[in-house]
Every structure is written in structure tokens, then in C-alpha cells.
Structure 1
Amino acid sequence: MFQFIKWIFKTIFLIIGSLLFRCNTDEKEKITFNGKVITDENFIVLNNQFARDSANAYYKSRSFSYADVATFEAVDDHYAKDKNKAYYCDEYREGQNYYLSKRQTILEVKNADPASFVSLKNGYAKDLKNAWFEGQPFDVKDVSSLVSIDYHFAKDDVSAYLNRHPINRSDGKTFVIIDGNFAKDSSNIYYYGYTGEGQNNICILPCDRQSFQILDYRYSRDNVNVFFLGFRLKDVHAETFQIMDDDYSKDKNSVYFQERKIAGAAPETFEVFKENEMFGHDVNYAKDKHAVFMDDKKMKDADLSSFMVLGENYARDNRHVFYKTGIVKNADPATYSVYPHDMGDADSEDGNYKYHEGARIVKE
């Protein structure tokens, strides 16, 4: 009897195992591309983005029959090639129907040599003679040694490039990203980000390499100088320099807003209003024992003892309401309140009127 029961259980387990194996086998045999199960035996998935069958090449849902299908291959997730051409493909959304529809674009990479065409990642590619970014050509000094660093940076053995523009005086062989917004090579240290209107968004910091240190994503220093972004702070005392909130900083002698020295500010009593971080604003407020400041400007009409930040670039004291540094004419500080900027046509009000960016709204 025991042997019979054992035989029954063994048979049941074999049946269940066979069914599970068949299910797993069926799952493994399913081929999917672009979210669809493929049943065409001639359909070959090349990677997550590209495929081909006997008649067409595919980038996601888009087919293009003008490729040489027999030799079509994926280079990376955006580039592909056949024996005749190279292609750059991308997906985008249209503004009016951004969340509803996706569009695919397929560009022929002009003048590409398919035999030597390779991806450098991050949107970059090259062949023996030319370089491209997202399918568009750009000039380099030594294409044979060209490599990409990230989406914005590339380099060869001669020069480094930011957004496909050569970086002046850079040495490509030794160029590396240090951290965040800083880079270096054998000769220079660079800041990249905002470096002034009309600039190429990267500059050489005139610093001592041995003592240079990064303080945060905005500030850096050496044993003599302090830099905000790509700008040197004038007359700064580097040894006593301190970073404060909201782009303010100070040393033993002066106070700075960004790279600009604040005339007349007293560093020993200078403090930033904590409310700057609590409310939406484009400007920053601070004070010392003598005065109130907006960014680097002294507010001549503000009462220090009663001044408070309201948000949306507004502040008040017991006599006035301010929009940035200007007085909001005839506004009542006792009843003045501020609300989110995009509520109707006003961003603030008192007991009598509504206001938008410091101006009273006049009803038509």
C-alpha cells in the first residue's frame, strides 16, 4: 500500500514538473520587440532599439526599407549601419501632444564610412576621418584618438571639447573631470558652467594648482584666491573665507554676494534671512547691524528692526511694502499678504487692492 501511494505522488510530481517545464520553455521561446511578441521567424532582434526582418530594418516602431537589410546591424542604442550607410535614430515627443504620442526620427549620417564607423557612447561616433554627435558632424583635431567623456565633453590627444567646441589651451591627453563643475589637465584647472554672457561656458581658473581645492559646486579656492563659478572675488582674504546661505559669503574684512563685494556690509554681524528658503523668490535678503540688503544692494528705506521677508520677491517693515528694493506705492504693510505667483493676475494683496510684481492692478 505504501509503495502504491509513493508511486501516485511521484507520478503527480512528474506531471506538474513537465507542465512547469513546458510553460518555462514557451516563455523562453517568446521573442518581443518594442513591446510586441514577434511571430515572424525571419525577424531578428539586434538590441533593445533595432531589429530587422527579411524586408525591413526597424528602429522601435519605425521601419525603413531603404537600408540594406542583409547587412544591417546595431552600433549602439541610437546608431546603426549597413554596408552602405550609417544611421542616427532617436525618439521624441511633440510639444502639443507631449504625453500622447512618440515620434521616431531616422537620419542618414552623411559621409560616414560604414566599415570603420564606431560608437563612442554618449551620442558620439566616428569613422577613420570624421566625428559626429547625435548624427551631426563636428570638427576635431585628431579623430583617431577621439573618445567621449560624457554627454558634454569629449577629447582627443590634442584637445578637449565642450559641447563640440575645442577648449582653449586644453591638453586632451591629460584632460579629466575632477568633480561636479571642475576639470583639469597637465597645465590648467577649469570651471565649467556659467562664466559670463556670450562665453563658451568654460574658463581657466587663474589659481595655484598645489593649493587648489573645491569648496562646493560654486566655490573654489587656493591659498590666495577665492572663486565663485568662474569669477575671482576681489580683495578676498582666502584664509578667513566662509560660505553662507543663498550665494552670500564673507571673510574677516568684507561680505560678498556671488562674486560681488557688498559695499558697507559688516561681516561680523552679517546674517541671511532664513525666510529666503521658505518662500518662492528670485532675490535674497540679508542684514547686518546697520542695514538690510537685497542681493548686493543696500535697502535705504528699510527699517531694520521690523523688516521681514514675505516671499515672491516681497518684503515689508512697519512703514513700507517692498518689491525687491522698490517701495510698493500706498500699500498697507499691516494687511499685506503674498500668495503663489500664478494665481490669477495678482501675486499679492492688502486690505484694499491686489498687486502683481509690485504694481497695483487697475480694474478695467
Structure 2
Amino acid sequence: MKTICNIIPALFIFLSLVSCKKIKPLGSLYFLDGNEIVYRYESSGPGVPKLPWDNKYKTVNADKDTFVPLQWPGYAKDKHHFFYRGDVIRNIDYATFEITDDVKTDYGSIAIVKDQYHVYKFREPWSIIEGADPKTYRIADNLKGNGNWFWYKDNRNYFVGDTIISVDYDTFKSIDEDSRFYIDKDNIYWLKSAYKNTSLEKIPAPGLLNSQIVYSNRVLQTPNALYYVTKKESFTKIPIEDLSSLKFFPPDNIYMMVDRQIYCEGALLTGVDFATFSVYQYPGNSGYTAYAKDKNKVYYRNEILEGADPKSVRLADRYMEDETYRWIPDLGSASVIIRKTAKETTTR
């Protein structure tokens, strides 16, 4: 017991000394640690770490008297160098290097990084954006719609993310302000957007530009076909024989009727009675769901709810239930249905 009593005060003193270590924040994750400038490249969690000794720092080889953190996380400068995440950004022209044109995205703010010779990647400022003209490179504010924060242009080319793309410069534009479809005089494109994998996909449909195009969420409609963008962002073509038979079901056009057949997310839903098909609404008519039914079956997206009677099953919050069973979608995998008795713990 005496040993434990001696350890506790010693541990308290140690933790007090560690937690009281004076590290002065300068901004952009840079700190003054005594006479050294350091960069915090890892912490115990987002924001202020719970355990100060879990922080990991590296020394920054900077001139302390002229060191200035910049407003963009990781960026700083002194009288000799610019820095990113604690490292010197080499192979740039210091006198003309600048960061301009902030844009807020779903992944945080980004900006244009350039000098008189090159444009550089915002999160990799040591890497050149090939083909970009630093004198005219700017945000492509003429392109609207979801993902427009990825668009840049200079006087010759468009860029999606940090990559030059091959389109007709003079005619390239977005189809709709709320879409990720784009068009030029030759092709129609879909912006496949992700944090580090943004690209422009050409729709494989020769002659499509000669047809009337109606945008509807992830669907392009022409008189002869629908082009549906699947969850994996590939294109599915659905031919149309009778344009008057076409019907979309909210939400997000998960379900569609084409030539008396029902499609779910671009794939044919077999065995459906199209004459009695309808989509469930949330209680109180607060919006449509991904649940649907016909006179024989109940569906969640492209899955049949085994044993569910469309006459007696009811929608309760985010799941379906009757007097015996409950069907709950696995939101991590939209095609998986969980079945259980109402009185038991949910099982897969």
C-alpha cells in the first residue's frame, strides 16, 4: 500500500509537468516550443487533443523572427521559404509564389497555389498541375451544379480537380445548375466526384446530342432511351418504345416505369405488377421512401421483403412491420434486409 501511495503523487507530478509544458500556438498547426518552431502533424483526435502528450510535432527549419503562419492549414512562410505541413516547399519561385481564390468544398477549403512559372496542387504544393497556365488559371465560375468547386480553367483548357480534361473549350458547359451532367458540341459527360478521385466520364451514346435531353436527378431522358447513373457511377441504358409510358417515382428516381416495366436504380425489377405499383410515404405524408409495393409483394429498393403482406404491413419510422415481423434496412448496405420478430432482438 505504501508503494502505491508513493507512486500516485509521482505520477501526478509527472502529468502536471507534461500538461503544463508551454507550447504557444501560432496558427495553421504551427507552434512555438521554447526557441523552436514546430508543426503538429498528429494528435490524439480532431480539434484539441484530450491528451497533450499524444501530440506529435516536428521541428520546422524556419527563421523565427520572420515566420508567419498563413490562413490555409499547413501553410506558412518566412523571409526565405514557404512551408507546407512543416516542410519547405522547394522548386518554387519565392518572389512570385501566391495562394489565391479560396473555395469551400465538402472536404474543406481549397485555393489556387501558383508562381509565375507553374500552378501547383493545393494539397501537394510540390507537384505541378500539368498544362495549367499560371497567368490565366482561375476558378471556372461558368460551370454550375454539384461538384462545381472542382472546376478550374485557363485560357485554353478546363481542369477537373488537378487534371486537364479533353473537351471542346468553347462549347463546354453544365446542363443544369443542380446536376453533374455536362455537355459540349460533341459529347455528354458525368462528373464522377470523390475526394481524391474526381473525373469526367463520357456517356457512351453516339448521336445523343441530336435528341432532346431532360435532366431528372441521375437520369438523362431522350425520346428513345434513359441513361441512368448507378450507385457505382456507371451508365445503364434503358430503351424506350412508348414515351407516354414513362413515369418517375420519388425519391431520387429510385423507381421508374418504362414500357410497363419497373426499374430500380436502373436495373429491371422482375415480376412486378406495374398496374398496382406504388411507393410508400412516411407517416404524415412527410416524404416518399425507398419502400414500394404492388398487389402481391413489398419491396425495399430491389429486394423483396419475404413474407410481407402489402395489405397488412405498415411503415413505421424507417422500417416496415406487421403483427409478427419487422423488416429493417441495413443502411450500410442498402440491398440487405434484416428480418426479426417484433418481440425479439434484431438478428441478421
> Counterpart amino acid of 1:156?
K
Name the CA shift for 1:116/1:323 in 2 (closer, same or farther; >3 Å). Answer: same
2:164 is aligned to 204
Paired residue secondary structure (1:190) = strand
1:228 is aligned to 190
1:106: Cα distance to partner? 9.8
In the alignment, is the contact (CA less than 8 A) between 2:119 and 2:128 conserved in 1? yes
In the alignment, is the contact (CA less than 8 A) between 1:213 and 1:222 conserved in 2? yes
1:54 is aligned to none
Distance 2:242 2:30 in 1: 56
1:288: Cα distance to partner? 2.1
Q: Could you tell me which of 293, 300, 306 is aligned with 2:263?
A: 293
Paired residue secondary structure (2:238) = coil
1:225: Cα distance to partner? 1.2
Name the CA shift for 1:103/1:333 in 2 (closer, same or farther; >3 Å). Answer: farther
1:148: Cα distance to partner? 2.5
Which stretches in structure 1 are left out of the alignment for 5+ residues? Answer: 1-61, 68-73, 193-201, 278-282, 342-346
1:261 is aligned to 236
In the alignment, is the contact (CA less than 8 A) between 2:225 and 2:240 conserved in 1? yes
Provide the aligned length of Structure 1 versus Structure 2: 273
In the alignment, is the contact (CA less than 8 A) between 1:175 and 1:184 conserved in 2? yes
Partner deviation per Cα, 1:22-57 (whole Å, 9 max, x = no partner): xxxxxxxxxxxxxxxxxxxxxxxxxxxxxxxxxxxx
Name the CA shift for 1:176/1:322 in 2 (closer, same or farther; >3 Å). Answer: same
Given the two structures, how large is their TM-score scaled by the length of structure 2? Answer: 0.63
Distance 2:305 2:264 in 1: 15
Name the CA shift for 1:207/1:66 in 2 (closer, same or farther; >3 Å). Answer: closer
1:261: Cα distance to partner? 3.1
In the alignment, is the contact (CA less than 8 A) between 2:320 and 2:327 conserved in 1? yes
Report sequence identity in percent: 18
Name the CA shift for 1:267/1:233 in 2 (closer, same or farther; >3 Å). Answer: farther
Which stretches in structure 2 are left out of the alignment for 5+ residues? Answer: 1-18, 103-108, 142-147, 192-199, 281-287, 330-336
Distance 1:338 1:203 in 2: 46
1:227: Cα distance to partner? 1.3
Paired residue secondary structure (2:60) = coil
Higher strand content, 1 or 2: 2
Whichever of the two has the greater Rg, that structure is: 1
1:32 is aligned to none
Distance 1:65 1:352 in 2: 63
RMSD of equivalent CA atoms: 4.0
1:152 is aligned to 110
1:266: Cα distance to partner? 5.1
Distance 2:169 2:239 in 1: 33
Name the CA shift for 1:131/1:348 in 2 (closer, same or farther; >3 Å). Answer: same
In the alignment, is the contact (CA less than 8 A) between 1:308 and 1:317 conserved in 2? yes
Paired residue secondary structure (1:121) = coil
**Residue 328 of structure 2 is aligned to residue 349 of structure 1:** no
**Residue 147 of structure 2 is aligned to residue 219 of structure 1:** no
Name the CA shift for 1:313/1:159 in 2 (closer, same or farther; >3 Å). Answer: same
